[in-house]
């Protein structure tokens, strides 16, 4: 197995039987695995070994899956390329020399390279869907509350969900069947997934399906990506679906609102990593303030530091209402727009990413370019809705993903539609 994909190669055997018996699964390295390092791709947690399993990991074991390792990721989930990991970058098996997407790039790469049948990632603003699109596999971002976040190292609590990767829609849906459902240890979970059978929904039947195409999510996209997107829509039309244009005016402000909220929550969540309670210690003998500062200076990478600083600023006295409160107002507007659009269509469709995979190193010196690449994915997290990315084809030999978005807890509808393509 490539060390670029797996930080650890501990093999965890599940039950002898169950719906995933015989299946191998890679687990993103921000999901707790008892007795196996969980580093979040950071020097800060380089040697951290959790004493407990995340709920999703416990469910994998019960379902008979074999966990083959922890998958590389952008440090603390902060990135779109899986290049900010302390352990090194991950290459894209579907497009060597290009990034696999992020922040769950190792998970998508593991499936694309055939090193795991399935994988788990987490999606705060597109971190399952982006790498699924860039690596040419399937990735599902569930409705907020469908999957337990117990044992997921927090980045942006109000935005993130654990989601599955698979080579096909049916494979990813079978993994969702295992991990979905309420959990008494996560008060945000709902019971909608307790008795669902998502794999059975992968019938490929799109006869009569009404697809809404938000015009705003095509603006500024790469020409080859847009052309590939329309080819996929035409394929769905050939199978009985129809499409019409819809509008989501609020998405113009979604990226800005998302990053204010996500960075603010990151600033709060990562305050616990001070080298005393958790994480790397700078070994400084001075006062507590200098000790904490030294640990964070050494333990966090540049992108994590950037987001903590911006989030702290947005939450600071005198700026909270100007930035954080305004971003929450924009979030409500985004959700309202999506809900209205989904009264006019069964699902919404767009390119998952407005650009094909970057070359390795291309975006590291331009964080804004990386942030803007999330334009089509972040609005879905703000709206708390489910989405799926499926392979749509290629442009210049590089994978392109189609994103479908559905109503809250409408995963079965999304899986049925997406399975017509993958």
Q: Is residue 405 included in any domain, yes or no?
A: yes
Between residues 185 and 14, which one has the greater pLDDT?
Answer: 185
List, in sequence order, every residue forming a beta bridge with 25; answer none if it has no partner: 67, 118
- Summarised one tens digit per residue, pLDDT across range 29-72 is 999 999 999 999 999 999 999 999 999 999 999 999 999 999 99
* % of the chain residues with pLDDT over 70: 97
Identify the weakest region by mean pLDDT among 162-171, 175-184, 290-299, 345-354: 290-299
Q: Is residue 217 included in any domain, yes or no?
A: no
Band (pLDDT 50/70/90 cuts) for residue 8 is: low
Considering the candidates 32, 85, 104, 127, report the single residue annotated as catalytic: 127
Q: Is residue 108 included in any domain, yes or no?
A: yes
pLDDT score at 6: 64
Q: Is residue 336 included in any domain, yes or no?
A: no
Q: Is residue 214 included in any domain, yes or no?
A: no
- The yes-or-no answer on residue 250 being catalytic is no
Instruction: Give the C-alpha separation, 265 to 154, whole Å.
Output: 9
Considering the candidates 32, 42, 85, 103, report the single residue annotated as catalytic: 103
- The yes-or-no answer on residue 127 being catalytic is yes
The CATH number given to whatever domain includes residue 356 is 3.90.1300.10
Q: Is residue 315 included in any domain, yes or no?
A: no
* % of the chain residues with pLDDT over 90: 85
Adjacency order of strands within the sheet including 24-28: 6-8, 66-71, 24-28, 118-123, 161-166, 138-141, 387-395, 398-405, 347-351, 210-214, 242-246
Considering the candidates 23, 28, 70, 141, report the single residue annotated as catalytic: 28
pLDDT score at 111: 98
Instruction: Find the domain containing 26 and state its range.
Output: 6-205+350-418
Q: Is residue 178 included in any domain, yes or no?
A: yes
Residue 196 main-chain phi, psi, to 5 deg: -75, 155
Band (pLDDT 50/70/90 cuts) for residue 1 is: very low
Report the domain count for the chain. 1
- Summarised one tens digit per residue, pLDDT across range 110-150 is 999 999 999 999 999 999 999 999 999 999 999 999 999 99
């Amino acid at each position: 197995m490539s060390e670029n994909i797996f930080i650890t190669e501990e093999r965890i055997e599940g039950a002898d039987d169950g719906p995933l018996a015989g299946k191998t699964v890679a687990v993103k390295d921000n999901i707790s695995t008892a007795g196996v390092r969980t580093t979040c791709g950071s020097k800060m947690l380089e040697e951290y070994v959790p004493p407990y399993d995340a709920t999703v990991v416990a469910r994998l074991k019960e379902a008979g899956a074999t966990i083959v390792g922890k998958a590389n990721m952008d440090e603390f989930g902060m990135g779109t390329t899986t290049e900010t990991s302390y352990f090194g970058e991950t290459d894209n098996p579907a497009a060597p020399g290009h990034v696999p997407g992020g922040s769950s790039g190792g998970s998508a790469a593991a499936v694309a390279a055939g090193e795991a049948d399935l994988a788990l990632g987490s999606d705060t603003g597109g971190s399952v869907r982006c790498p699924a699109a860039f690596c040419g596999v399937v990735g599902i971002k569930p409705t907020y509350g469908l999957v337990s976040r117990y044992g997921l190292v927090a980045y942006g609590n109000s935005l993130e969900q654990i989601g599955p990767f698979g080579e096909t829609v049916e494979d990813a849906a079978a993994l969702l069947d295992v991990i979905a459902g309420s959990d008494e240890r996560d008060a945000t979970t709902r019971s909608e997934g307790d008795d669902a059978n998502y794999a059975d929904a992968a019938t490929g039947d799109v006869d009569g399906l009404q697809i809404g195409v938000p015009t705003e999510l095509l603006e500024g996209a790469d020409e080859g990506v847009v052309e590939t997107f329309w080819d996929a829509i035409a394929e769905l039309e050939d199978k009985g679906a129809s499409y019409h244009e819809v509008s989501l005016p609020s998405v113009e402000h979604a990226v800005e609102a998302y990053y204010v909220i996500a960075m603010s929550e990151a600033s709060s969540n990562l305050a616990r990593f001070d080298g005393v309670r958790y994480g790397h210690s700078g070994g400084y003998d001075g006062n507590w303030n200098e000790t904490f500062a030294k640990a964070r200076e050494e333990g966090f990478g540049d992108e994590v530091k950037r987001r903590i600083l911006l989030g702290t600023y947005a939450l600071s006295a005198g700026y909270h209402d100007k930035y954080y409160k305004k971003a929450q107002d924009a979030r409500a507007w985004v959700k309202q727009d999506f809900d209205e659009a989904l009264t006019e269509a069964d699902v919404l469709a767009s390119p998952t990413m407005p650009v094909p995979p970057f070359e390795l190193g291309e975006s590291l010196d331009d964080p804004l370019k990386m942030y803007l690449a999330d334009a089509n994915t972040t609005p879905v997290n703000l709206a708390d809705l489910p989405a799926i990315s499926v392979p749509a084809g290629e442009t210049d030999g590089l994978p392109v993903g189609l994103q479908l978005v559905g109503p809250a807890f409408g995963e079965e509808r999304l899986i049925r539609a997406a399975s017509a393509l993958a």
